[in-house]
Amino acid sequence: MRVLVTGATGFVGPAICRALAARGHQVVAAARRPVPDLETRLVGDLGPDTQWSAALEGCEAVVHLAARAHVMDESEADPLAVFRRINCDGTLRLAEQAEAAGVRRFLFMSSIKVNGEATAPGRPFRADDPPAPVDPYGIAKAEAEAGLAALGGSMAVVILRPPLVHGPGAKGNLAALMRVLARGWPLPLGAVDNRRSLVGLDNLADAAGFLLDSDATGPVLVRDGEDVSTSQLMRLLAAGLGVRPRLLPVPPALLRLGGAGLGRGAAVARLLGSLTVDDAPLRALGWQPPLSLAAGLARMTAVFRERS
């Protein structure tokens, strides 16, 4: 099957392109410049006016990864409007033209942020939960999902909502935590006893290829085989980095109070809170993660050590 992949050069894209090629698919990258070792069809920036007809020619499936991702230091005056234009309107423009071009399957990489920011103990997010996004990124992804569901044509749409993705080259909070651990700095996270679902880059790519080849439609949640607390995650990262973690047992209530006082309440809440997902429907289809959480984290920390 000839598959058009948007976002082929991003954090997730190369792993998904490799996974699709390993399954025997012909991968075509949609990008603004040629992608080494891949057939590339040039397109402009993602948005409501992007022309996709030439890129879609001859393709039977689309894997849509391109998006405006989380922005650590937002500079836009109206972030929601920008996220909507790129992640919602741009997605629906692609989907409408894909359906018109005769594409049979469309896989959209969404986010667990469509479900919300935190889960209660023993109540993981489910794919059929009512959407409850909080930030502009999650809101735009939820609106894109709703628009895809309303297409109503013959093209089958499957939506993949990953939690935090780890893997070689990870940036953002994971990279920051690895830098702190590698430098031996103390972290006040020894008393944190939450539960977090994560998914490794290789596992996410394998799940995407599996779903593209299946008959599944609608939203699907994915995770590694086990959930961990933030303190357990720090220990796994430290082991991969070859350092001894310095985790101070500071009560979470004090951390929340300090975070609020510094204007970082939301960031601290994400670090201390639980976010777990129910991936039983995906497992019921026959998918199993090829790598354990520990093995995936080891790959990420090994690359971090090499590059550092």
Per-residue DSSP letter, 92: H
Those residues whose C-beta lies under 8 Å from the C-beta of residue 120, and which sit 6 or more positions away, are: 274
What's the pLDDT tens digit per position in 108-163? 999 999 999 999 999 999 999 999 999 999 999 999 999 999 998 899 999 999 99
| Residues facing 165 on adjacent strands | 199
Residue 266 is which amino acid?
A
pTM: predicted TM-score of the whole model, two decimal places: 0.95
Top-level CATH class of 2-168+198-223? alpha beta
Q: 192-212: per-residue pLDDT in tens?
A: 999 999 999 999 999 999 999
Catalytic option among 137, 210, 287, 304: 137
Q: Which of 30, 63, 93, 76 is nearest to 208 (CA)?
A: 63
137 tagged catalytic: yes
Q: In whole angstroms, give the CA distance from residue 115 to residue 123.
A: 12
| Contact present, 66 and 7 (Cβ < 8 Å) | yes
- What sign does the dihedral 183-184-186-187 (CA atoms) show? positive
When computed from its CA atoms, the radius of gyration of the chain, rounded to whole angstroms, is 20
Residue holding tokens 């919300």? 116
